[in-house]
Chains A and B, each alone.
Chain A
Amino acid sequence: MQTARPKYLYIAGIAGRMILLLFLVSVLSFALIAKAPIDPLLSYVGAESTLSEEAKAEIVRHWGLDEPLPARCLSWMKNVLHGDFGMSITYKRPVIDVIAERFSHSIVLMMLAWAFSGALGYAAGIFAGMRRGGICDRAIKLFCLVLQSAPTFWLGLLILSFFSVKLGLFPFGLAVPAGKLAAEITLGDRIHHLILPVFTLTIVSIGKITLFTRQKLTEILNSDYILFARARGESDRQIVLRHVLRNTALPAVTLQFSSFSELFGGMALAETVFSYPGVGTAATAAALNGDAPLLLGVALIGALFVFSGNLIANILYGVVDPRLREGGDYV
């Protein structure tokens, strides 16, 4: 290690970038929502309110809606820094509580889909790449290209209508059976409700990682070191175990971590199709109801989530890749 920067500088750099990102996301979302045809007052009191004009003016003053945009944005940020994200108009509860509860559902969905699509996609990519040009390879490639081009909500609807409506195997939506007491809900119930959304989200994320792994594998198989490994008598199996996995896993894992943004977007759509009570459905509801505080909260959480994905990818690369870990030359 010749030119390694001190660790704390590295961490400070990351923290700085994160703060800057969250700040910019806040400002941008705030500005977008303020300029959107959303009237917070109207959303709050409802279109057929019988409230007097004086009472409405009172609310406007109380909320600070009469102040200029930058001042409103600043006071919102100040509150956020104190952990106060405001009240959700849709759910009549603090935004932070809504997000915490919803996110606990979404994160299960996303992490399962992420792990499945990663593991299955990687395996399929290796499998296809080792048989490049064969019938399996072509089938996998076609499958992936179709999935990559199909919109998530459409796939979700297809899956829903096939497995739930036609076969009756799975519930139509929600995270738990409707009309059952909270105390009676079992883990089995939850899993049963999770299967289709996870399946959908897995299917839509799998194409990218599979095609990427397959491509990477093709590059590696044409490399000098695989040729040499063959010349040294290594079998296909040994070549995969000794060289291919090691050289493809790293870029694949990085890709998978940096695809958190697509995962988040896919999650929102899949949740809406399956009426799964996660962040995605909350965001949709918030947008439809003009629920500005909740929308802002979701935007911040989303940014934080995607940022952590990229951060993990970066850190992992440094830990796993010897070229970065042990940098510097021996001679």
Chain B
Amino acid sequence: MATENGPVLTVRELRISFGMYAKGLRKESLRVIDSLSLDVRAGEIVTVVGSSGSGKSLLAHAILGILPANAEAEGSILYKGEELTPARLRRRRGTEIALIPQSVDSLDPLMRVGKQAAGARGGKEGRNAARAAFARCGLDARVERLFPFQLSGGMARRVLISTAAVASPALIVADEPTPGLGAARAMETLRHFRELADGGAAVLLITHDIDLALPIADRIAVLYAGTTVEIAPAEDFRKGRDALRHPYSKAFLDALPQNAFRPIAGAQPYAGHPPPGCPFAERCPARTEACERAVAMRALRGGEVRCIHAT
């Protein structure tokens, strides 16, 4: 059973692979996420950052149980200490677990957005909840009567965000919720997440925009080639590269425009063919022979890191 202080969401050794037909009829399995572990506690915002192709959206889809049919997930996902079986997931998503999807095409083109935000429960209660959520996201009551094609990108984004606030979920998984919003509106949205977290919700915020997320995040998980390489308090990221543990996290910070704006050579390993050892070894300046064996996450200075050399 869930303890009061236990994590709301626990992802343990998640592995996602896609069944694909390679040459002819030979079926090949492409591993896109491997030994990914993280947890989110109530009242906490955990931000997942990583470049595109690192498996951020797949993580969100795996939690919500909406992976494509040819994807296979192993490992365990726990909600309040309980294994999130398909049956439990069906009961909880939409009410206790909410997704804010990445695509603005996630709105039904032929349904008025007010009705969509109210969700399947509908009725007067649903309508009122939708209206309140719209107001919180800065949407006029008139917007309820509009169809998605009548919305601007930013408005559609806010409608999507408001869908999570219609129920009062204990866990919010937000997959890139800010693109298309202006800087001020994006900041406001993130503050809205902060409020939700302060109200007791656990928020998993997936983004590529670490700058935006830094001020509101509690912890940051860095994804590289489908696995977590570092999970650290957001404070360490605010302090700068020296407070970080993993060479990729440091490189990630260095590559930001306002920092050194210095990219590192090489590319993320191609999905499906992860190297047996550290996925970052190929690009790592501190690489040694020991890096060619599998590396596990370990605790270090109040965070976690997947690197044998980190100090």
Chain A positions within 8 Å of B, measured between CB atoms, are 223-225, 227-235, 238, 242-243, 246-247, 250, 321-323, 326, 328-331
Contact = CB atoms under 8 A, between A and B. Distances in A.
A224 B107 CA distance: 8
Given A242-B120, A326-B147, A326-B150, A227 B109 contact: no
B155 A228 contact: no
Contact of B109 (A238, A247, A328): A247
A238 B93 CA distance: 14
Nearest to A133: B69
Contacts of A330: 143, 146, 150-152, 155
11 contacts: A224-B101, A225-B106, A230-B66, A232-B120, A246-B110, A246-B111, A323-B109, A330-B146, A330-B151, A330-B152, A331-B151
B99 A231 contact: yes
A223 B105 contact: yes
Contact of A233 (B90, B107, B108, B110): B90
A224 B155 contact: no
User: Ordered nearest first, which 5 A-B pairs have the shortest CB separation?
Assistant: A233-B94, A228-B106, A232-B94, A330-B150, A224-B105
Interface in B108-162: 108-111, 119-120, 143, 146-147, 149-152, 155
A152 B180 CA distance: 55
A321 B147 CA distance: 11
A231 B91 CA distance: 11
A243 B151 CA distance: 19
A246 B107 CA distance: 13
Contacts of A326: 147, 150
B146 A227 contact: no
Nearest to B92: A233
Nearest to B112: A322
B101 A231 contact: yes
Contacts of A328: 150
A232 B109 contact: no
Which of the four size classes fits the interface of chain B? 20 to 34
B63 to A, nearest CB: 9
A233 B120 contact: yes
B234 interface: no
B64 interface: yes
B103 interface: yes
Contacts of B42: none
B66 A227 contact: yes
Contact of B107 (A225, A235, A242): A225
Interface of B: 64-66, 90-95, 98-99, 101, 103, 105-111, 119-120, 143, 146-147, 149-152, 155, 163
Contacts of B101: 224, 227-228, 231
Contacts of B92: 233
A331 B105 CA distance: 18
A225 B106 CA distance: 4
Nearest to A320: B110
Contact of A247 (B91, B95, B108, B155): B108
Contacts of A230: 64-66, 93
Nearest to B89: A233
A247 B111 CA distance: 9
A138 B185 CA distance: 50
Given A223-B105, A225-B107, A246-B110, A232 B66 contact: no
A305 to B, nearest CB: 30
A326 B90 CA distance: 36
Contacts of B111: 242-243, 246
A51 B90 CA distance: 88
Contacts of A234: 94, 119-120
A228 B107 CA distance: 8
A330 B151 CA distance: 6
Given A224-B103, A225-B106, A242-B108, 6 more contacts: A224-B105, A225-B105, A229-B108, A230-B65, A231-B101, A232-B98
Contacts of A242: 108, 111, 120
A227 B163 CA distance: 14
Nearest to B166: A232
Nearest to A222: B68
Choose among B99, B111, B120, B143 the residue with the greatest number of A CB atoms under 10 Å from its CB: B120
Contacts of B103: 224
